[in-house]
Every structure is written in C-alpha cells, then in structure tokens.
Amino acid sequence: MRILYHHRTQGRGAEGVHIVSIVRALEGHGCEVLLLSPPGVDPLDEAGNAPVDKSGVELSGIRRLFKWISRHLPNLLFEFLEIGYNLAAWRRLREAMKKGPVDGVYERYAFFMVASAWLCRRRGVPLIVEANEVSGIPDRARPQVMKRLCDRFEHYYLSRATHIFTVSSYLRDMMVDKGIDPERITVTPNAIDPQQYRELPPRDPTLARDLGLEDRLVFGFVGWFDEWDRLDILIRAIGVLRDEGLPVAALLVGDGAVRPRLEAQVADLGLEDAVVFTGAVPRSEVRRYTQLLDVAVFSHSNDFGSPVVLFEFMALGKPVIAPRLPPILDVLEDGRDALLFDRLDETALQDRMRALAHDAPLRR
C-alpha cells in the first residue's frame, strides 16, 4: 500500500516523535509512506533532536519565519493564514497523487484544514484523520478567534473522513456531540515505540550528585511547563513531605513560561534545596535525567490531550501518580497501573506521594 502522511506541524517536539513512530509502524506493516510536511520541515531527520523547551532554539530560513509567525502574529491573522494553508496543502497532496496510485491519506488534524477532504473525496481516496484536538477545546494554548467558522470547516472535514482516530475519549465525545458518527471514531491514545526502550540507561550517580539529589527520594515531571500542569501543587506537596521529615526532592526537567513563577514559589517556601529546575534539556539527554526519578508525578493536565511523556515514564519503569482526567483514565487503572487522585485534590496527591515514599516494594 502507498500512504501519504500529511501534517502541518513543525515536527520537532513530541509531535515529531509521534509522526516518526506512526510512519515507522506503517512501514513495518509493509506500507510505502510518503511524508508530506511544511516547507523546510523533516520530522524523520529532526524528531528527537529538539530540547524539551524549544523556545530558545535558533532556527534559520523559512523555519525561522514560521517560528516568528507562530509567536508574534495576532491570533486573527494567524487563523487567516491557517485557512490560506489549504492552498499549499492541496498543491502538495495533488502533486503526490500524480506520482502514482495512492491507497490512503493519513492526516494529522489541523484547524481549518479541508483541502485533503475535498481532494480525497474527488479522487476516491480514503482519508484517515488523527485528531489531537478539536475546535472548542478548553484551555487551548492559542485561543480561538473565529470559532464558528472553524466549526464549519471542521464539520465539513470530519464528516468526509473515512475514519477518525482521537487520542482521548474526551475528543471522541466532543466529536459525537458535533454530529460525527461514533462508528467512524476510534480512541487511540498516544504511545511510544517499545523497541526504543529495550536497553535503558542506568541511573547516573554523577548527575544525581551534580543536581544535589543524592540520598533523596526524587519525585518529578518532564516536559514543557504549561499552566494546566499545575506544578505549583507538586512543589507544595514536596514542602509538606519534607516538613514531615521525609528525604524527598522534586526534579523538574524542562522549561516553560510558568517557570519564573514556580521558582518564586520555591523561594517563598524555602525549598531551594529540595526542588531542582534543569532548564531546557536536549531530547537525547532526557532519559538520562528521567532515570533519576523514583516517582513520576502529573499534578494536573488537560481534559483532551494524551501525554506522550506518560508512556515514556511507564516504558522506563517509573511508578506514576496522576489525576483522574479522561485521557489518563483511558489508559490507567488506579492501583494497577498507577496511583490516581481526584483532579486538583492536593491532599490526595500528598497521600499518594507519601504512600510511595514509605513503600519501596510498591514503587517497584
């Protein structure tokens, strides 16, 4: 089978790792996959090379222009550009279809994207959609301006898809509420390639010493620090457990806009010796830092996204504490796969952390 994989991302963060994994999986099933990316983007070459925090990475050429547009263009103008991107997508898909028979188009959903739906319907080619978001999701990093127009584009697009894969049941339910046939929707959470985790790096005692984490029970998180991660809750929990005399610490690997606020909180609570911020870490080094964690903690997240780092933690054998949110409940069962707590219940989170701190066999 010949599959066109089309996306509109920069393909350098977790989305790049995911794209590469899907491409390799399709190839593993004997498919020929042609990856269609925005100009200057090649996830197959660059996925996994970007640090957890990409904000300070220097780019050149058109990639630099894309980054400037993403960061500085007003949301209204950005949405008009998203609509205009349909022309580029249509041309790219049409040219690829001219080069030989196409058995299907696999596309990562993007706001205002309709070119593929129109072209696939016209050519009689199946369109498979992978949706990591939909119009109207709460707490989106980039707020929507023309939501009603986006809803119309989205309904045209999704109603013409042959099948849709959503990364969470929350997104599936939103689509069903919008009138999409539930029989054409399958919930497929994000994942990792287990082959890449067969040989795990050992815990690095030198790195632990350099970070001041020797002889500590290390709780932590890895990723871009978003508002919805509510890492302030984890920091407070570390303070509570330390005041109880437990030798605990928090390791926060990555960066984000909320980091200055978190650092101020650490200073206010006098936890400078118990909370470590690594800053941006190259993805090639992330496992080395992650192996210092005794327990991985999600103090909060969002209702719609399937966090790739959750599966990375599990592949590395890290016990997980996480909130009862739809994407978490899609894959984890309390007491079997992880210790879960009600959303934003700080006392319950502290109880779960305390339980693992006192029970080494449970951590294993």
Q: Return the axis-axis angle of helices 75-98 and 61-72, rounded to nearest 10°.
A: 140
Residues 24-37: pLDDT tens digits?
Answer: 889 999 999 999 98
Check whether 110 has a pLDDT greater than 90.
yes
* Domain 2-188: CATH superfamily, name plus number: Glycogen Phosphorylase B; (3.40.50.2000)
> Across residues 35-57, what is the average pLDDT?
66
d(CA 196, CA 180): 36
Better-scored residue on pLDDT, 65 or 254: 254
Q: Which part of the chain has CATH 3.40.50.2000?
A: 2-188, 195-363
**What does the pLDDT read at residue 40?**
79
Check whether 48 has a pLDDT greater than 60.
no
Residues 50-86: pLDDT tens digits?
Answer: 445 454 455 555 556 666 667 768 899 999 999 999 9
Residues 196-206: pLDDT tens digits?
Answer: 888 888 899 99
CB 228 within 8 A of CB 139: yes
Q: What percent of the chain is predicted at pLDDT more than 70?
A: 92
d(CA 356, CA 339): 9
Token duo for residue 173: 């339910």
195-363: CATH, from 1.20.1600.10, 3.40.50.880, 3.40.50.300, 3.40.50.2000: 3.40.50.2000
CB 340 within 8 A of CB 324: yes
**What does the pLDDT read at residue 347?**
97
**What does the pLDDT read at residue 249?**
97
What's the whole-model pTM score? 0.86
CB 304 within 8 A of CB 327: yes
d(CA 262, CA 272): 11
Check whether 176 has a pLDDT greater than 80.
yes
> Across residues 38-54, what is the average pLDDT?
65
